[in-house]
Structure 1
């Protein structure tokens, strides 16, 4: 960064020693420049990639021959012996992935290692994972054929995305087979159907018949229910449902729970309204999105329209407070929120990017893994948390702030592979301009 901002400054290149000890504030590109090497050379010498996080005290090889790239082809999985209690972190690992790989909950990993949900792990670090049977720690074997039936019992720490990936079924198929949505909350002991097409195969939309309206003034919560959906199905306002049951917008409901339906007696409920359409356009910047994605976007837009939402000023404060608590420059987080939605929590794009920070559901799953808990993108606080968590991760894993900003818009892999597109360059300039206004 200094070299780019002060181009007239002469930087002395020293003879490269065999190893270099990382100091606070170091980056791979800065270390490479200091020792007269290219960034790619240092990455290859240390078996790293552009997403690898380095830490103070770590030894970096800065001389010698580049390590040969691993041979392609099937690799026999390395097994963790029965009774092994530790795991050595490898590049690209996350605590959530380590927990899933060893069949233990994320909470147990955090507790066993005295870590927090925001802790940063690094290659070579030893993580206590408890006693396990044989567990693969090398590249995963070829995916198994998609199941045509069967069920899966939810365990502590599971997410719908992880369950779908583990059983090689499409997430959309898993949701439809169980009458769930991206915002559904699952719980340990819950049985899920595993019918569906393999992951990556488009799943045709399926109409889920709503449960019949109760004949009395109560309703029993079912898997996949949300407070907004229950209120709509029973033709009552969400606020009256919350008041009648002494709940708030952040209350978690669970299957089997009984809710009072205010103002309902034995009168049958009217037929449910058809799925909303026309709330969200089908195209943006010349690209038309698949019907299923637009349908999901319309459903989320309708739900957000039915929910209480913070004012733009309140949402701005939520984003700023969240950024401070997560160690991100508030002016940068506010710049993203302003550019993406002008602090409008009810905003939904044709790509089904949701809320103030415009986070798509798959990115919401990633953000949930980054913070160690399931985030509901329809909730204002969780939406801000998801956006800030993604910004923080991109800053930590990108060689420059401009690339981190571009990655939020274009995707980090695409920026690394293709460079910034013209509209991405305009986006980066806009974010930096907004940031100056929020300082």
Structure 2
């Protein structure tokens, strides 16, 4: 029985080169195709790796050492700010003997300009903290105490202080000295004060120890050599009148003439009004003081409306038979012997000011104003 024909089962395995039925040209083509497939298989992982590196911002080995790709170091500490230069100190001018007030001036500004204490300038000129100054007014500066911020020209001798006392409203140097059993002169010496100095609430006063050096008492003032009705013997500057001052001075002069008051009485009234209000009918002042003469309604000088009436205020200042406050206030004509008193003493007898010597500096101006107004 013949065997079936199965050559593929019976044929022995032959080498590839013997079984390869492709021609040489076909084999070359297959080899090139296989090489391209291998290249594609190698390229794909590199492309994917580059994409992942770009999305994750990771440098590839080739770019890791590139200076352009190296991140710049960051500092969390801010750069220090250079310190600002300290402002240059204001120059302090040497204080002249007198100063003429200019528009916009204040007592504190004038004192600071010349290195003086405001309280000393006020005291030297007989002014209070509520007093007004006006352009053309002449202020005295010689003798004012230097400000604590100004360098002293000569060191003061040390004074042994046992304690300090804080000033309260209503205090006086003499009262403080008496309460602590020391002399007024010793308190003056321990604090660099004088009889013209002003103390104010909140100020600390050094109380000297027993046996501390004391200032020599001031000599008693000599009596005036000439009658007060004469012009002052020492030269004084003349303050020019503004239009407001002139109008109020004219009211004082005409009212005085209607009452029969002579020139000397008018000079006293003009000096008093100049010191109290700068010849202005002001609607404010110390406590409830108002008007030309800073009269106080609470002390019987009239209602606020009456005190602000220049004619009535002038009549109240002169008093006498025409005193609108008869029995309540004392006017110049009610003061015995006022004609022989100095301007400042006569004015003080009516005004009873805390600065009794402040009116004298206005005498020369008051005489000049009266001569000008007639």
TM over 0.5: no
TM-score when normalising by structure 1? 0.23
TM-score when normalising by structure 2? 0.27
Q: Which has the higher contact order (CA 8 A, sep 6+)?
A: 2
